């Protein structure tokens, strides 16, 4: 792939459209300073995606558009297009089918920047992706501007790494890594947001879970409470029945047992006295036998101890003798081995010491021979280096002149071809038809601009209205959400209170509800639901009314059927529910205050004013309900009630605000866990909640209507705005297209006029250029012949010197090899000598120690043999004595065992009979007491049994069904503690939200969905992390491979440019992903430790060597050089040109220069001039004039 054309229009000083035709691989751009040559390189950087104004030598991106001059106005559009020849298919993929690829960028003063790929609009990223890995880019090593050489060579290690990465083709990996990291960052942000949602939902679930569990728990506890109460009563009833029957049988049995127990005591007393006499006789016999047994045991122990002592002494002496003999044998064997080793070492030392002295003399002689051979080789190398330096200059001069001749021949051919093309182009230039089209396009542009302004004003008005309505919608939605939350809370609270109220009023009793439904009373209110009690007096009314709070209010009593003969008058069967019921006839009563409200104390014998009043004064209710509390007074405190209790009549009572109820001779305090506790207060709260819910529902309806109206209005305005935006965009595109066409047409007309003038001037310049090229060709031929003659004479001398090089090198190599062999042999002998001397000394010392140990072991062995011969066996006499004593002790032991068994039997019998007597006496006393107590207890059980049976009947549980659910060993105590626990649990539950169960289920499903999303995001993060690790591995491998290859090519390229010296790359770190790159260079004949000490020309040449080394590795399609040769002297320019010519076989070069030698290198020259102030143009190049400009 190569760059074939650069089309520029309106970019910086190139106001008129120009085309740089790059026909060859060596194209030179020349012209005077300030004429705009470097703007061509800026144009290439810009179209390839450069977005920094600083790197385009401007203050802002608008500076790339022609900003006017003394004779021209500013224009509004800049355009640059690069045309690539892709006939070799360098760009693969979707672009491999295109033989020519066009990349174009346009920018207008309103900041609208557009990119085009083969005429189709595309993104900036699409352009950069095409060049990834090719070495091309807005800041790649393929574009070397003024100052970039110094910046490249003096760049920081991290910046130099970027250049090497582009050469390695891993810039696309870095781009993919940045994209992956961006996606990971977005994924982590999504994960954080999702975590916040999950945490918030978790809190809601915790709250709803508690409420749902509380609601479920409330239902379960209520059922368990009723079941436990019935179970306890049934078990108590059954236990009392069984207990009564057992107690009656026990009373008759205890009377018979009492007489029998008295007779048993008398028999036991006689038996115990006879046993005590037998015990005294047996104890005396045992004492005599036991003394004989102890004496026999002491004799046997003494004899056995003497036998064991004698045997231990003999065994220790025998062991010591065996050990001494073994040590003596082992010591003799070791001493013999050491004497053999000592003899061998002395013989070896006698052989090695003479050889060591002879080798030392041979080493000195070989070292002297090596020094002589090395001195002769060094003298030859100095002579060879001098000849090489004499050959280098004529060789370089001959090559330069040959290249110059070839270049001049090509230039002469190109000049002739250029003449022919210019004449043909002159005949084709005409502009009459373009001027008519220009007037028509100007009128169309004015009409489009006016329509565009009107459309933008309409769009702004619609956007303002839409924003106002959206703000109003957000405010209404906020109020609506708050109201819904409030309604949900009120509904939950109301449901909890209604459930508690129904339980307190026994509306959940199925039997009772069925009876009410049969008599058309199922919808009748309870009295607690219609009472209006003064605040603070609820406890007093609950204490007085009690179960009457769930009385059913009706206008008349239902018909009562006549009792049948079978049931009798007193039977309740089938007339009323078993749980009981209270009916209150209110007829046409309405809520009214008590007629006694405000009156004084009635009844009693006092007429004095009292601090109390009637309880009915605190009540608004039907008159029938007021009669329930007609004779009850009320006081604020218990102290006041106690003080006035003596004034009460027999039918009167008094109750305090706290609910303590007193009569003239009684006092009642209500249980805190009573089922009717809090009914009135709950009823008032239920009424209040219902009123609040009704008000809230009305407000919700209004807000929903407002939200719906706003939603419809916003939708309508959004459609209008969308249509207005589409119209505005369409008008803007139409206006831009018309202006672009007008501008292009204007530029085309100006180009036609300018081009005719340029062709005339260029033809004159080409004629003079051809004459100068012919003269330069003759001069180059003569200089090349002179250099070749000088080179032939020096090469003869070099060939003669080369013949003696191998002989001297072989002499040095043989001397070094002989010296190494002698040194190795001497080292082996010295090591053997040292080893044998050490072994000899060790063997002598070990032999001396063994001789001393032999003498000591022989003395010890003799002593032990004497001691063993002197001893006799003492065990025979002692064993006979021990056998006699053992026989005597066995006989005594048999008699002792018999005496002990006899005595133990008597003693056990006595203890048993004593214990039996004590137990018999206790039983007699216990039986007498128990007989009296059992009679009283039997009577009490009979009373409790009757009471429990009546209580169980009220529970309405079936005895057989309930009995089947109880375990066989169940007791009332097992159920009492659970019942109390359940009652406390119900009280602790407080207000219950029964709607929480459904809410918890819905939120749980949402939580599972969010948890799945969270798992998916975590898995995505792991996948992206794996992708980054893979990219890092590939990047390391590619970077290391590229670094090694570029380093190798740099080490080869540097001496070619400098004529010697060395240069290499060095990593500044260990991590291949982040390490920087440093350049280490040493020009020939210098000792420079750092590159910063080099001259400007040396730095420039080093940078060129690095760039060309990179090209050798990964050649970019083209390379642009902007006055790279400026700091180089003539000799270095020649080497630079030769290297560029060699590289041009594979790489296309476009270079800007003022140097004569570099101009001669170019196969295609493009001239840039600024005849009109501020406006750059392309002109034909006069080589003679170009040389004058370069020298001047």
Maximum separation of any 2 CA atoms in the chain, in Å: 170
The three-class DSSP label of residue 873 is coil
- According to the annotation, is 32 in a ligand binding site? yes
Distances (CA, A) of 865 to 314, 327, 394, 451: 12, 16, 111, 140
Taking the C-alpha atoms of residue 2 and residue 36, their distance in angstroms, rounded to an integer, is 23
Distance CA 48, CA 126 (A): 10
What length is written for the chain? 1192
Q: Is-contact 615 541, C-beta < 8 A?
A: yes
Q: List Cβ neighbours of 393 (8 Å cut-off, separation of 6 or more).
A: none
| Residue 925 C-beta-side C-alpha neighbours within 13 Å | 5
Cα–Cα distances (Å) from 187 to 180, 193, 836, 1008, 1029, in that order, read 10, 10, 77, 20, 17
Between CA 332 and CA 342, with CA 338 as vertex, the angle to 5 degrees is 145
Residue of 17, 790, 93, 798 lying closest to 384 (CA atoms) = 798
Distance CA 1136, CA 1142 (A): 10
Angstrom distance (rounded) from CA 798 to CA 119: 63
| Cα–Cα distance for residue pair 796/442, rounded to 1 Å | 80
Helices and strands: H and E segment counts in the chain: 21, 24
3-state helix, strand, coil in the chain (%, to 5): 70, 10, 20
For 533, left (φ over 0), alpha (ψ -120 to 50), or beta?
A: beta
Residue 20, sorted as left (phi over 0), alpha (psi -120 to 50) or beta, turns out to be beta
- What's the token pair of residue 296? 């026999």
Give the separation between CA 1069 and CA 46, rounded to whole angstroms: 34
The count of other CB atoms within 10 Å of the CB of residue 541 is: 27
Which phi and psi angles does 607 have, rounded to 5°?
-110, 10
User: Does residue 37 have a known ligand-binding role?
Assistant: yes
993 a known binding residue? no
User: Which residue, 922, 1081, 1084, 1125, is CA-closest to 154?
Assistant: 1081
Asked if 513 contacts 582 with a C-beta cutoff of 8 angstroms, the reply is no
Pairing of strands 26-30, 1148-1152: parallel
Helix (H) or strand (E) run with residue 30 in it: strand 26-30
39 labeled binding residue = yes
What is the Cα–Cα distance from 542 to 537, expressed in whole angstroms? 9
990 assigned binding-site residue: no
Q: How far lies 153's CA from each of 156, 952, 1080, 1109, 1127, in Å?
A: 9, 107, 10, 14, 14
Q: Check the annotation: does 874 bind a ligand.
A: no
CA-CA distance, 942 to 83, in Å (whole number)? 120
Decide if 556 contacts 588 (C-beta within 8 A).
no
Whether 201 contacts 1006, CB under 8 Å = yes
CB-side neighbour CA atoms (13 Å) of 109: 9
How far is residue 1165's CA from residue 412's CA, in Å, rounded to a whole number? 12
| Secondary structure string (H, E, C) spanning 1036-1086 | HHHHHHHHHHHHHHHHHHHHHHHCCCEEEEEECCCCCCCCCEEEEEECCCC
Q: Which residues are annotated as a binding site?
A: 32-39
Binding-site residues from annotation for ATP = 32-39
């Amino acid at each position: 792939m190569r760059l074939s054309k650069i089309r520029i229009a309106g970019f910086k000083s190139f106001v008129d459209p120009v085309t740089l035709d790059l026909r060859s691989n060596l194209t030179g751009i020349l012209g005077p300073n300030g004429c705009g040559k470097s703007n061509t390189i800026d144009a290439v950087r810009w179209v390839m995606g450069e977005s920094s104004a600083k790197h385009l030598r401007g203050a802002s991106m608008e500076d790339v558009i022609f900003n006017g001059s003394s004779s021209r106005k500013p224009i509004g559009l800049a355009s640059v297009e690069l045309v690539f020849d892709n006939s070799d298919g360098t760009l693969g993929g979707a672009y491999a089918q295109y033989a020519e690829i066009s990349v174009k960028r346009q920018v207008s003063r309103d900041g609208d920047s557009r990119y085009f790929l083969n005429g189709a609009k595309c993104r900036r990223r699409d352009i950069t992706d095409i060049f990834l890995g090719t070495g091309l880019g807005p800041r790649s090593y393929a574009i070397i501007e003024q100052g970039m050489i110094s910046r490249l060579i003096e760049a920081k290690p991290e910046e130099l790494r970027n250049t090497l990465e582009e050469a390695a083709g891993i810039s696309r990996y870095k781009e993919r890594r940045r994209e992956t990291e961006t996606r990971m960052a977005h994924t982590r942000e999504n994960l954080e947001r999702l975590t916040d949602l999950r945490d918030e939902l978790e809190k809601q679930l915790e709250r709803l879970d508690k409420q749902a569990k509380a609601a479920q728990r409330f239902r379960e506890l209520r059922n368990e409470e009723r079941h436990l109460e019935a179970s306890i009563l049934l078990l108590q009833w059954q236990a009392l029945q069984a207990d009564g029957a057992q107690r009656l049988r026990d009373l008759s049995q205890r009377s018979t047992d009492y007489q029998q127990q008295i007779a048993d005591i008398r028999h036991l007393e006689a038996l115990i006295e006879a046993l005590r006499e037998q015990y005294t006789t047996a104890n005396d016999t045992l004492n005599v036998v036991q003394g004989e047994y102890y004496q026999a045991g002491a004799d046997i122990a003494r004899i056995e101890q003497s036998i064991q002592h004698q045997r231990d002494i003999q065994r220790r002496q025998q062991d010591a003798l065996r050990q001494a003999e073994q040590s003596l044998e082992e010591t003799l064997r070791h001493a013999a081995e050491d004497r053999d080793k000592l003899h061998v070492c002395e013989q070896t030392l006698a052989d090695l010491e003479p050889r060591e002295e002879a080798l030392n003399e041979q080493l000195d002689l070989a070292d002297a021979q090596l020094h002589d051979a090395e001195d002769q080789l060094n003298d030859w190398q100095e002579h060879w280096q001098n000849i090489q330096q004499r050959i280098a200059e004529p060789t370089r001069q001959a090559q330069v002149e040959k290249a110059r001749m070839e270049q001049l021949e090509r230039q002469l051919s190109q000049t002739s071809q250029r003449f022919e093309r210019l004449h043909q182009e002159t005949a084709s230039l005409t502009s009459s038809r373009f001027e008519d089209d220009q007037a028509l396009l100007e009128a169309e542009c004015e009409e489009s601009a006016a329509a565009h302004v009107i459309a933008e004003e309409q769009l702004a008005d619609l956007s303002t209205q839409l924003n106002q309505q959206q703000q109003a919608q957000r405010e209404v939605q906020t109020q609506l959400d708050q109201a819904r939350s409030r309604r949900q809370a009120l509904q939950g609270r109301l449901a909890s209170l209604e459930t508690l109220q129904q339980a307190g009023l026994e509306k959940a009793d199925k039997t009772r509800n069925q009876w009410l439904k049969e008599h058309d009373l199922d919808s009748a209110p309870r009295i607690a639901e219609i009472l209006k009690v003064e605040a603070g007096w609820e406890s007093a009314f609950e204490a007085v009314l009690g179960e009457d709070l769930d009385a059913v209010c009706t206008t008349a009593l239902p018909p009562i059927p006549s009792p049948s003969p079978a049931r009798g008058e007193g039977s309740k069967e089938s007339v009323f529910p078993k749980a009981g019921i209270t009916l209150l006839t209110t007829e046409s009563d309405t809520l009214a205050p008590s007629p006694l409200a405000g009156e004084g104390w009635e009844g009693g014998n006092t007429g004095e004013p009292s601090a109390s009043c009637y309880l009915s004064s605190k009540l608004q209710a039907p008159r029938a309900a007021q009669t329930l509390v007609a004779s009850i007074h009320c006081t604020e405190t218990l102290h006041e009630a106690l003080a006035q209790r003596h004034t009460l009549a027999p039918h009167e009572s008094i109750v305090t605000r706290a609910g303590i109820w007193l009569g003239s001779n009684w006092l009642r305090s209500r249980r805190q866990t009573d089922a009717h506790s809090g009914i009135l207060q709950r009823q008032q709260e239920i009424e209040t909640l219902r009123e609040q819910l009704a008000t809230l529902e009305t407000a919700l309806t209004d807000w929903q209507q407002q939200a719906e109206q706003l939603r419809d209005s916003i939708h309508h305005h959004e459609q209008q705005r969308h249509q207005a935006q589409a119209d505005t965009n369409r008008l803007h595109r139409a206006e831009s297209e018309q202006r672009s066409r007008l501008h292009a047409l204007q530029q085309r007309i100006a180009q036609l006029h300018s081009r005719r003038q340029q062709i005339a001037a260029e033809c004159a310049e080409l004629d003079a250029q051809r004459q100068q090229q012919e003269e330069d060709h003759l001069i180059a031929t003569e200089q090349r012949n002179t250099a070749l003659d000088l080179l032939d004479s020096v090469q003869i001398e070099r060939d003669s010197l080369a013949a003696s090089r191998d002989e001297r090198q072989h002499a040095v190599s043989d001397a070094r090899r002989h010296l190494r062999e002698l040194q190795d042999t001497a080292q082996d002998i010295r090591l053997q000598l040292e080893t044998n001397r050490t072994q000899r000394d060790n063997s002598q010392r070990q032999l001396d120690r063994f001789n001393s140990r032999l003498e000591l072991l022989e003395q010890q062995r003799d002593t032990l043999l004497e001691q063993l011969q002197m001893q006799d066996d003492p065990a025979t006499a002692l064993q006979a004595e021990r056998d006699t004593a053992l026989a005597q002790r066995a006989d005594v032991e048999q008699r002792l065992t018999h005496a002990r068994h006899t005595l133990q039997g008597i003693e056990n019998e006595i203890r048993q009979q004593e214990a039996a007597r004590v137990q018999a006496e206790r039983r007699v006393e216990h039986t007498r007491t128990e007989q009296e107590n059992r009679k009283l207890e039997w009577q009490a059980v009979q009373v409790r049994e009757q009471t429990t049976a009546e209580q169980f009947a009220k529970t309405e549980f079936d005895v057989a069904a309930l009995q089947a659910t109880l375990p066989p060993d169940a007791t009332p105590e097992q159920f009492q503690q659970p019942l109390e626990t359940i009652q406390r649990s119900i009280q602790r539950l407080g207000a219950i939200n029964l709607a929480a169960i459904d809410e918890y289920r819905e939120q749980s499903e949402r939580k599972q969905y969010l948890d799945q999303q969270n798992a998916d995001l975590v898995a995505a993060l792991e996948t992206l992390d794996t992708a980054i690790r893979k990219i890092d591995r590939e990047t390391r491998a590619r970077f290391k491979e590229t670094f090694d290859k570029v380093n190798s090519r740099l080490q080869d390229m540097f001496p070619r440019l400098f004529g010697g010296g060395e240069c290499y790359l060095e990593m500044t770190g260990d991590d291949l992903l982040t390490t920087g790159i440093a350049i280490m260079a040493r020009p020939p004949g210098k000792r420079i430790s750092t590159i910063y000490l080099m001259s400007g020309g040396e730095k420039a040449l080093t940078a060129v060597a690095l760039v060309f080394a990179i090209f050798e590795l990964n050649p970019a399609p083209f390379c642009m050089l902007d006055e790279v040769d400026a700091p180089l002297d003539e000799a270095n320019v020649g080497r630079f040109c030769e290297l560029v010519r060699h590289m041009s076989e594979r790489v296309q070069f476009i270079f800007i220069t003022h140097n004569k030698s570099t101009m001669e290198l170019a196969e295609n020259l493009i001239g840039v001039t600024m005849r009109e102030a501020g406006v750059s143009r392309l002109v034909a190049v006069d080589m003679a004039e170009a040389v004058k400009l370069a020298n001047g």
